Structure 1
Amino acid sequence: MTTMPAVGEPPELKKYSGPQRAAALMLALGKEHGAPIWEQLSTDEIKELSSSISQLGRLPATVVEYLLVQFTGEVSSMASLHGSYETTERLLNGILPDDKVREIMEDIRGPSGRTMWDKLSNVSETVLAAYLRNEYPQTVAVILSKLKPEHAARVISELPGDFAIDVIQRMLRMDPVQKEIVAEIEQTLKSEFMTNLSRAQKRDPHEVMADVFNALDRSTEESMLTALDACNPESAERIRALMFTFEDLANLLPAAIAAVVKNADKRQMALALKGAPEEMKQLFMGAMTERAAKMLREDMAAMGPVRARECEEAQTELVRLAKSLADRGEIVLVDPKADEAMIY
């Protein structure tokens, strides 16, 4: 049996976490070779690994080859692997019972979190309150008592006034709840609420396309939207409404702007603001110390003339940074789809 030569670690591998690397291995092994491994995993491990596979996206062949060289000599001929909800479901089918596959897929499509209460804490307070207002106040009291206090407070503020007061009074005088009752509530939430929520969370293709347009450079974005205007003006308008742009950063709360400033590359920020209106410059510099703002202005002046394209690319990177911070829960973005809605 010939031994494959050692493959050096590709630079792209650095951006993949441990769970993502494990996901790539399992995706490449497939049903036949992966089945013995899946059978040794706990339900929580299967959920975690399945979630990683479903969000993996495309893997460069060099990364796949490095990870799988000890398993197969054919990986180097592969162009890429693609992890998605569909490939995850196909992989699990035939390895696990249908009801278990359905449970796992609904779980990873829904809000993240190991326990039901973790998951509920990742559900928008508006959505959760809309469901709870139809439940018995005592049941709502039990549920809210299990949530993080800050999330419970936001949910209570979304409930009708009299109903909210009733729930609060019950929370104040609530005795320890029997495990059986909590388990029953968890099961009801899982079967009635989380299942429906995961089904409802399939993304509008216009939202997906808005993300794609956000990643385009400014000139390509404008030309594509102009072309779309000509053949499908309704879709073009919806995409524009869903896009989060550099100008939308002006709607961030001061603390969120400060977080963007703190995490941004200083040269990139200088480039982005050099091509921005004076109000935007003042907004970002207001989140800095006087000395840092002065240094930033000096950096912008020292750059001299720069290409508009460079400024636009830097502005796009600031938008990506803001989205990344929002995804990690470090800041709040104003949702361009609604005047008062917030994305957490």
Structure 2
Amino acid sequence: MSTAIAAFNDHRTLTGPEKVAALLLAMGKPLASRLLKHFDPGELKTITRSAAALGAVPITALETLVEELAQQFSRGVDLRGTAAEVEHLLGGVLPPEQVAEIMSDVLGSSNSSTWVRLSGLPEADLAAYVGKEHPQTAALILARLTPEAAAKTLAILPRESRNALTRRMLALRPVSEATIKILENKLRDDLLNGPPRDAGANSQGRVADILNRMEPEQAEDVLSSIAEAKPVDAAALRSKMFSFNDVVNLPAKSKSVLFDRVPTEQLTMALRGTDATFRDSVLAALGARARRLIENELNGEGGSAKEIAAARRAISTTVLQLSSLGEIELTAEAA
């Protein structure tokens, strides 16, 4: 090892952590993984910083340091230590959360921490965003989210989009760091950094979403209070709100799309306690088989008031999600 160190010193003096980082990067992930497990978190951060800033190491110095890997570098390609390389090296050895913490500490607010923060956003927001992007860009975004966040986002996308994006994710080719950097900057500007340009509209949307999840009597009381001081805001909030009772006012096409997404048992539960006119209006939008199934279930008893209210809120939430994705219209005039 002393000969190897001397060879390195002929080029420039490397610190101990830099030498370790160079060796680990030269070993490759399978062999390096065995060693990384023996470092404590503090040592891992030190090595990660060194690897991220290592830069180019001449092939001659590298061959001297790791003679047993000379065959791997016989084509004369220099080694370059980058943040992406060391993040890849850590992946699979440590839990994703620990990798994200280490890389965030090394890189500040860039790279992995951006995707961790994006993965923490509501899936409805992510779905609405990727739904407006080019499919290839959307696939790249989904592929870099955490698996859990990507799965939840895909789950509320239209079936055709979900399947197409998954196929694109399978076929993704490596993307340059410069391209990823541009994408990250755009995502931070659009989704993470401060209030967007339409902050007022977004605030109304968030408040409307909160009101939609409250008990109807409570929501109406809040709206009445807002109307006394800000009638325009109250009217805007009402236009963004949707309750289960509004289902019958949806255009026929929107009803068809909605009931195709809502589980039969959830719709059955939500219809309990409704009057015959309302029930018939909803059932008329279903296929014959689904209608008979629900009618048979409704003939029996079942479901507490709490379960019925939860089912109705869930359907209202689904309506708003589908509307935000542009899959359904809430009014016949806009259809």
TM-score range, shorter chain: 0.3 to 0.5
Rg (Cα) greater in structure: 2
What is the TM-score when the length of structure 1 is the normalising length? 0.43
